[in-house]
Amino acid sequence: MNKEVILQDLGLKDYKETWDYQEQIFKETLDIKIKNRREDAQLVTPNHFLFVEHPHVYTLGKSGDMQNLLVDEEQLKEKNATFYKINRGGDITYHGPGQIVGYPILDLDNFFTDIHKYLRFLEEMVILTLQEYGLKAERSKGETGVWLDVGTPFARKICAMGVRASRWVTMHGFALNVNANLGYFDLMIPCGIKDKAVTSLNVEIGQKEVSMEEVKEKLLKHFKVLFKAEIN
């Protein structure tokens, strides 16, 4: 089992370009697994972890409802935002500058073959990171992602998640609001959940700006422990 994870930070990159790149890595890994199965090739499958920030974009998952996007094409242009329907689970999500997006493209055969556990580990990585900033983040029953003040009228989401997996290879991932412009969330019903607000780390700790690099380092630290992974 290969526990090595290849890390790439793509910086600010268009959503569709990043999606195509993910698909390329995803397909390459699947092709190795298929060759192993058909030819008993016993080739090692790679694991990748991509960090990226996207320009303003809204994405709708397979089970999503278009009505959860509250603006039309013209209004999107005015906001310098784009829109894509994509092949992950979940409903509508916003990505934009000030948000850390993480795409682990892992062969879970190298770690554990359990998608539920995989999602819980991603959530735990974010929860432990936010704990370092003095925030009590947690899961909300029946809702993927990471939240604050769960079970109160002030419940708010700080990290969205949506993944796809095939033959235990994962893609897509999480989006953690660090210095996000929260006004863009008003243009949609986040994840199709009408009665919950959205927040950002800098707002919660009362700072104008939080170091994105510092947050990434903390995320990776917890990822390594949870997944017993080596990052390269």
List active site positions.
191
Separation between Cα atoms, residue 58 and residue 216, nearest integer Å: 23
* 105 contacts: CB under 8 Å, gap ≥ 6: 22, 25, 26, 29, 47, 48, 49, 50, 169, 170, 171
Q: What angle do CA 161, 83, 97 make, to 5 degrees?
A: 60
- Please state the length of the chain: 232
**Given 3-state DSSP classes, what are the helix, strand and coil percentages for the chain, each rounded to the nearest 5?**
35, 30, 35
Separation between Cα atoms, residue 215 and residue 228, nearest integer Å: 20
How far is the first Cα of the chain from the last one, in angstroms, to the nearest whole number? 16
Phi, psi torsion values for 228, nearest 5 degrees: 50, 45
Phi, psi torsion values for 186, nearest 5 degrees: -70, -10
